[in-house]
């Protein structure tokens, strides 16, 4: 049996890979995917703790995270499409109109 | 423990072989069926070195479709177009095949079989969230066709892949809603329990099948299922006159054979689901675990093994009947236009499915069923 | 879940996650992500949370990722080389990862006592009934709020992705 701490470590590693994706890549879509990866790493932590403490609450939170991720994907991809239409780029460094 | 493992493996292999064989036979079924509908003779070549004809037997073309076709396909060159993504191009057919095949794991093909002191549940995997599992695997089926279209580096293929993806995710909603209303009706997500619920008769003659409770959900599931399998009334993704062959334009040889097999396996899948949800699965009217209880009060005792065999045969025959129905529809109906397809999915089936779920919920809450 | 199976799945998940960051083509990144998501769903099921695991497959792998795939195709994104990182980012990143590795090592050597063992759970743990009980009693308000959130998300997505006819940036001849 893998103890819960192993799941937590896996979750931390996945989360960090997600963070590195946000920091290293400049493609907006890949940054977005890395954010989804981070959300999933957190989900994994929730479910493993839910199992460790024998309580369903963690799974309920995962359910909410999924719904929020779905809404976020719909709006976020809409923003990416709208930006692409105006600036013809998906590079985060070139989307700099609001920057000073 | 080891015995459990072996029994599980045997059940899984039997289900897999049944599905693959039925899909291959459907290929012949479809040729003969289309010939029947169009008043032709149909596949009638390639007898076994002329033996059948010398004996004066009618040549049904069985050998042709079951042996000559695969031989032809698998000996052809496996061509990969220039600029294609070689890895994904090779992966795509199997990515399409895999989800369809694993979905059959939760379809029950019989009740309990008792051998010695061991009772075997005739279902490859007994899952208590089987309905969710079906939706999950069908959802994963999208990737095979979409990547097949994309990896070919061909515009028609990509268009076909996009159409297939859009169509599949649109009709998944209607399919999911139909399954949800059945889950509400039976109060369980376990397909084996659903089948057991459908045993017995109403008023002495009407089997307690799901179709009599939820006729609308049956139509939704059948329509959405046919759309998922991307065959003629819904064959926009591979519309020959517009897109050559859609997402598998650039496939040849064995990989194309796999894509064709996926189509037929999907027909079997839709038939199996419709049978399980709406036509009692393995239930044979008046057959109970201990034998036949006929309406007049007559009773024939049957041993458990005989009951199990009758159930398996019943299930297979029901599945074959629905495969035949789908082939009939495929050769009868003309193709939709793309906007009609989307309108049917989003403005027709989806509201109907929501309405069905709402009505079912009201009946359960207020009717006290 | 036996330890060897966990290690195998964890390796798959990490390979997939690394693929998201390191693959050059967005479609390949996306496929790596799908692999990770499916592996995480399998881990959920192994942890006894079957309902959430299959929901993860339906919602994430079956719906959200397909949406991403559509957008990648719509924008016709091609392979891009990986960008060289900024020096400051590299420095910060090394510091951060060193701290993280130290923390993880500490975690392996001395796991907090609360999470070294799984508690015994009932047979129906993670079944749809238990989840629904929790959702419709303790989290009812949050549950209703998510339905509003989804509605807002749908409206927002449509409003953002719609081509405005009056002067907006619509490509020529491309009204759907």
Question: How many Å lie between the alpha carbon of A99 and the closest alpha carbon of chain C?
Answer: 18
Helix, coil or strand: residue C120: coil
Q: Which of C37, C83, C116 sits opposite A5 (nearest CB)?
A: C116
Instruction: State the average pLDDT over residues B68-82.
Output: 82
Position B21 scores a pLDDT of 85
Token readout for B326 is: 């789908």
Token readout for B309 is: 């065999």
Residue C118 lies in a domain: no
- Rounded to an integer, what distance in angstroms lies between the CA atom of residue B93 and that of residue B194? 33
- Rounded to an integer, what distance in angstroms lies between the CA atom of residue C17 and that of residue A34? 8
Q: Which of B202-216, B261-275, B307-321 has the lowest mean pLDDT?
A: B202-216
Token readout for B20 is: 């693959």
- pLDDT at residue C169 tops 60: no
Strands B206-207 and B291-293: unpaired
- pLDDT at residue C111 tops 50: yes
Predicted ipTM? 0.89
Question: Is the C-alpha dihedral spanning B55, B59, B61, B66 positive or negative?
Answer: negative
CB A3 within 8 A of CB C118: yes
The chains found to touch B (3+ Cβ pairs under 8 angstroms) are C
Q: pLDDT of B329-361, one tens digit each?
A: 888 888 888 888 888 888 889 999 999 999 999
Q: pLDDT of B299-311, one tens digit each?
A: 777 887 888 888 8
Question: How many Å lie between the alpha carbon of C19 and the closest alpha carbon of chain A?
Answer: 10
Total domain count for chain C?
Answer: 1
Residue C54 lies in a domain: yes
Which candidate in A1, A55, A61, A73 is best for mutational testing of the C interface (most C CBs within 10 A)?
A73
Q: Which of C3, C55, C138 sits opposite A1 (nearest CB)?
A: C3
Token readout for C167 is: 């002067």
Residue C97 lies in a domain: no
Q: What is the DSSP string of B177-221?
A: HHHHHHHHHHT-S-HHHHHHHT-SEETTTEE--GGGT-HHHHHHH
Question: How many Å lie between the alpha carbon of B179 and the closest alpha carbon of chain C?
Answer: 14
Q: pLDDT of C114-168, one tens digit each?
A: 666 777 777 677 778 888 888 888 889 989 999 999 999 888 888 887 776 554 4
Which candidate in C56, C58, C64, C147 is best for mutational testing of the B interface (most B CBs within 10 A)?
C58
> CB distance from C57 to chain B under 8 Å?
yes
Q: Which of C27, C51, C62 sits opposite B142 (nearest CB)?
A: C62
Q: Which residues of B touch C58 (CB under 8 A)?
A: 132, 135-136, 139
Q: Which residue has the tokens 């599992």?
A: B133
Which candidate in C21, C61, C122 is best for mutational testing of the A interface (most A CBs within 10 A)?
C21
Token readout for A66 is: 């999924």
CATH number at residue C136: 1.20.120.1200
Residue C101 lies in a domain: no
Domains of chain A, CATH where assigned = 27-92 (1.10.287.3510)
Token readout for B184 is: 């509400």
What is the pLDDT of chain B when averaged over all its residues? 83
Residue C95 lies in a domain: no
pTM: 0.86
Q: Which of C6, C40, C171 sits opposite A43 (nearest CB)?
A: C40
- Position B60 confidence tier, pLDDT thresholds 50, 70, 90: low
- Position B170 confidence tier, pLDDT thresholds 50, 70, 90: confident
- Rounded to an integer, what distance in angstroms lies between the CA atom of residue A56 and that of residue A75? 29
Name beta bridge partners: A27: A91
Whether A and B touch, i.e. at least 3 CB pairs below 8 A, reads as no
Position C34 scores a pLDDT of 92
Which candidate in A1, A14, A87 is best for mutational testing of the C interface (most C CBs within 10 A)?
A14
Residue B89 parent element (H or E): helix B86-103
Alpha-carbon dihedral angle through residues A75, A76, A81, A84, given to the nearest 10 degrees: 140
Encode burial over A50-82: b for 16+ CB neighbours within 10 A, e otherwise: bbbbebbebbbbbbbbbbebbbbbbbbbbebbb
Token readout for B44 is: 């009638």
- Position B209 confidence tier, pLDDT thresholds 50, 70, 90: confident
Residue B120 parent element (H or E): strand B118-121
Residue C6 lies in a domain: yes
Pairwise CB contact (< 8 Å): C68 & A73:
yes
Specify the higher pLDDT residue, B135 or B369. Answer: B135
C126 to each of A57, B105, C45, C121, how far by Cα in Å?
10, 21, 9, 10
Pairwise CB contact (< 8 Å): C60 & A40:
yes
- Position A39 confidence tier, pLDDT thresholds 50, 70, 90: very high
Instruction: State the average pLDDT over residues B89-106.
Output: 89
Backbone angles phi, psi at A17, to 5 degrees: -60, -40
Percent with pLDDT over 70 in chain A: 98
Pairwise CB contact (< 8 Å): C61 & B140:
yes
Question: How many Å lie between the alpha carbon of C28 and the closest alpha carbon of chain A?
Answer: 11
- Rounded to an integer, what distance in angstroms lies between the CA atom of residue B185 and that of residue B208? 12
Chain B residue with CA closest to C51: the answer is B129
Q: Which of C31, C34, C51 sits opposite B129 (nearest CB)?
A: C51
Percent with pLDDT over 70 in chain B: 93
Residue C159 lies in a domain: yes
Query: B144 CB contacts (<8 Å, ≥6 apart)?
Result: B92, B93, B94, B95, B96, B97, B98, B99, B262
Q: Which of B135, B143, B166 sits opposite C34 (nearest CB)?
A: B143
Q: Which residues of C touch B172 (CB under 8 A)?
A: 62
Position C168 scores a pLDDT of 45
Position B339 scores a pLDDT of 85
- Position C84 confidence tier, pLDDT thresholds 50, 70, 90: low
Specify the higher pLDDT residue, B298 or B315. Answer: B315
Position C170 scores a pLDDT of 42
Residue C109 lies in a domain: no
Q: Which residues of C touch A32 (CB under 8 A)?
A: 68
Q: Tell me which residue range forms the domain holding C129.
A: 1-78+123-165
């Amino acid at each position: 049996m893998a103890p819960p701490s192993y799941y937590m470590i896996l979750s931390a590693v996945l989360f960090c890979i997600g963070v590195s994706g946000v920091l290293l890549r400049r493609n907006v879509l890949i940054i977005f995917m890395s954010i989804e990866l981070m959300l999933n790493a957190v989900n994994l932590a929730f479910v493993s703790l839910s199992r460790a403490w024998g309580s369903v609450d963690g799974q309920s939170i995962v359910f909410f995270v999924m719904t929020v991720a779905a809404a976020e994907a719909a709006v976020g991809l809409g923003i990416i499409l709208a930006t692409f239409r105006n600036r013809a780029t998906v590079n985060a460094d070139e989307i700099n109109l609001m920057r000073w | 423990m080891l015995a459990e493992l072996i029994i599980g493996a045997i059940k899984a292999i039997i289900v897999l072989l049944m599905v693959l064989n039925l899909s291959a036979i459907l290929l012949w079924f479809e040729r003969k069926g289309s010939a029947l509908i169009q008043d032709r003779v149909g596949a009638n070549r390639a007898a076994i070195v002329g033996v059948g004809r010398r004996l004066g037997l009618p040549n049904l073309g069985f050998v042709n479709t079951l042996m000559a076709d695969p031989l032809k396909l698998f000996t052809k060159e496996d061509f990969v177009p220039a600029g294609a993504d070689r890895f994904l191009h090779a992966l795509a057919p199997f990515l399409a095949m895999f989800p369809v095949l694993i979905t059959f794991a939760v379809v029950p093909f019989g009740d309990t079989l008792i051998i010695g002191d061991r009772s075997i549940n005739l279902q490859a995997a007994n899952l208590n969230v089987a309905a969710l599992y079906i939706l999950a695997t069908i959802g994963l089926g999208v990737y095979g066709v979409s990547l097949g279209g994309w990896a070919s580096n061909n515009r028609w293929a990509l268009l076909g892949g996009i159409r297939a993806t859009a169509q599949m995710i649109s009709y998944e909603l209607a399919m999911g809603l139909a399954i949800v209303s059945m889950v509400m009706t039976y109060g369980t997500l376990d397909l084996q329990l659903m089948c057991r619920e459908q045993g017995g008769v109403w008023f002495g003659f009407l089997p307690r099948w799901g179709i009599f409770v939820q006729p609308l959900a049956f139509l939704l599931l059948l329509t959405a299922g046919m759309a998922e399998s991307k065959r003629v009334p819904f064959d926009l993704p591979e519309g020959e006159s517009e897109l050559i062959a859609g997402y598998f334009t650039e496939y040849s040889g064995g990989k194309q054979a796999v894509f064709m097999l996926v189509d037929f396996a999907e027909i079997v899948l839709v038939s199996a689901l419709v049978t399980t949800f709406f036509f009692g699965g393995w239930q044979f009217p008046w057959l109970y675990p201990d034998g036949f209880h006929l309406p007049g009060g007559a009773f024939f005792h049957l041993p458990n093994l005989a009951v199990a065999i009758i159930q398996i045969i019943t299930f297979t025959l029901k599945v074959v009947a629905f495969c035949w129905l789908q082939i009939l529809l495929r050769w009868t109906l003309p193709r939709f236009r793309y906007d009609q397809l989307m309108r049917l999915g989003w403005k027709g089936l989806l509201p109907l499915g929501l309405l069905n779920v709402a009505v079912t919920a009201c009946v359960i809450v207020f009717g006290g069923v | 879940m036996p330890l060897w199976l966990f290690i195998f799945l964890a390796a798959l998940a990490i390979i997939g996650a690394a693929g998201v960051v390191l693959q050059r083509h967005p479609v390949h990144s996306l496929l790596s992500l799908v692999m990770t998501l499916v592996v995480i769903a399998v881990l959920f099921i192994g942890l006894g949370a079957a309902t959430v695991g299959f929901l993860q497959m339906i919602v994430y792998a079956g719906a959200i990722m397909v949406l991403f795939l559509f957008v990648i195709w719509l924008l016709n994104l091609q392979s891009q080389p990986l960008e060289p990182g900024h020096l400051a980012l590299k420095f910060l990143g090394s510091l951060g990862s060193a701290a993280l590795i130290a923390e993880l090592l500490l975690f392996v050597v001395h796991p907090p006592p609360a999470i070294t063992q799984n508690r015994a759970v009932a047979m129906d743990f993670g079944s749809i009934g238990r989840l629904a009980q929790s959702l419709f009693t303790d989290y009812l308000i949050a549950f209703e709020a998510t339905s509003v959130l989804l509605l807002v998300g749908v409206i927002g997505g449509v409003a953002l992705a719609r081509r405005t006819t009056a002067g907006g940036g619509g490509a020529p001849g491309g009204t759907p």
